[in-house]
């Protein structure tokens, strides 16, 4: 494939992924609604485009990294969007949209002769910077094989299926577990602190035992106990992912009673802490109710 590709969406995840492509020798044509984000890439040698359509008129492969399904839909299919570009043949969506949106967008792009590759990523901002993301790819097998060297710049590539939306299903299942681990670990640690335990000791014990998870190993020690709350993933986005997962599960006829409780807690966090708060701040909901603070003694 050509080393010249397009990249639209230079936010917390998109910018470090785009920078990794530049560092790997790819010639990027980029667009974002924020000029300062575009400037960060052009300073490294990328070319700026005036719109999503302009990106799609300059290259045959366009990557998207965008925050919500409506934004992905608008950028892909709306006025001045990717589908109106004159050169694009492949659109790789790195965002989290849910399987239904992925299928809808793929069908609309196919009608214009454009192939959609569903390729959400997991591993957070740190993983995007380090190139250690899990990259979940769904699309035509031969095309995905051709794209793998480029996607491997972001991390480890997993081919999960040929149908649009299969990557999204994999990503939502993963993020449900991540959201559940954070919520449950927050409750467990606040319970321990209220009962007199040191949260650092709690994490050491949990991580040596059967309760260890991504929150106990990383998020609670690094972000909660230190009171940094700077994991780099917003509460609103985590709530969106959990909500999408339950909607997709309901459509598939799969009951998820545990996930329903997790969604309710993230909905409260989204409302009370704000969508832009760091996802690790969810512990503050339980702290307030318990009248304690999770910090090292």
Secondary structure element (H or E) that encloses residue 108, with its range:
helix 99-110
Longest dimension (CA), the chain: 64
Q: Which residue has the tokens 């577990």?
A: 177
Q: Which residue in 11, 141, 1, 16 sits closest to 72, CA to CA?
A: 11
- CA separation for the pair 219, 217 (Å, rounded): 7
DSSP-based helix, strand, coil % in the chain, nearest 5: 55, 15, 30
Both tokens of 180, joined, read 């559940």
Per the annotation, the verdict on 171 as an active-site residue is yes
Beta bridge partners of 27: 4
- CA separation for the pair 242, 104 (Å, rounded): 20
Both tokens of 103, joined, read 């299928």
* Backbone phi, psi, residue 133, to 5°: -70, 155
Both tokens of 118, joined, read 């569903």
* Backbone phi, psi, residue 115, to 5°: -95, 130
62-82: burial string, b at 16+ Cβ within 10 Å, e else: bbbbbbbbebbbebbbeeebb
Q: Catalytic: which of 44, 87, 171, 228?
A: 171
Catalytically active residues, by annotation: 171
């Amino acid at each position: 494939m050509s080393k010249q590709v397009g990249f639209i969406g230079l936010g917390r995840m998109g910018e470090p992924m785009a920078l990794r492509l530049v560092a790997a020798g790819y010639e990027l044509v980029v667009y974002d609604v924020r000029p300062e984000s575009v400037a960060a890439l052009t300073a490294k040698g990328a070319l700026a485009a005036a719109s999503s359509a302009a990106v799609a008129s300059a290259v045959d492969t366009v990557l998207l990294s965008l925050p919500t399904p409506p934004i992905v839909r608008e950028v892909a299919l709306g006025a001045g969007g990717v589908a109106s570009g004159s050169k694009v043949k492949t659109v790789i969506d790195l965002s989290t949209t849910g399987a239904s949106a992925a299928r809808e967008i793929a069908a609309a792009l196919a009608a214009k002769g454009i192939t959609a590759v569903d390729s959400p990523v997991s591993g957070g901002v740190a993983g995007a910077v380090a190139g250690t993301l899990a990259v979940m790819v769904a699309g035509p097998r031969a095309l995905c094989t051709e794209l793998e060297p480029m996607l491997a710049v972001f991390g480890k590539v997993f081919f999960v299926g040929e149908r649009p939306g299969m990557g999204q299903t994999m990503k939502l299942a993963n993020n449900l577990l991540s959201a559940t681990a954070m919520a449950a670990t927050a409750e467990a640690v606040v319970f321990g602190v209220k009962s007199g335990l040191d949260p650092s000791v709690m994490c050491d014990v949990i991580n040596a035992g059967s309760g260890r998870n991504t929150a106990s190993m990383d998020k609670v020690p690094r972000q909660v106990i230190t009171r940094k709350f700077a994991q780099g993933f917003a509460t609103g986005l985590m709530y969106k992912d959990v909500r999408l997962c339950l909607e997709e599960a309901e459509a598939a006829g799969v009951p998820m009673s545990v996930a329903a409780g997790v969604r309710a807690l993230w909905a409260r966090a989204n409302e009370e802490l704000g969508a832009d708060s760091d996802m690790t701040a969810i512990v503050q909901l339980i702290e307030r109710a318990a009248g304690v603070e999770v910090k090292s003694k």
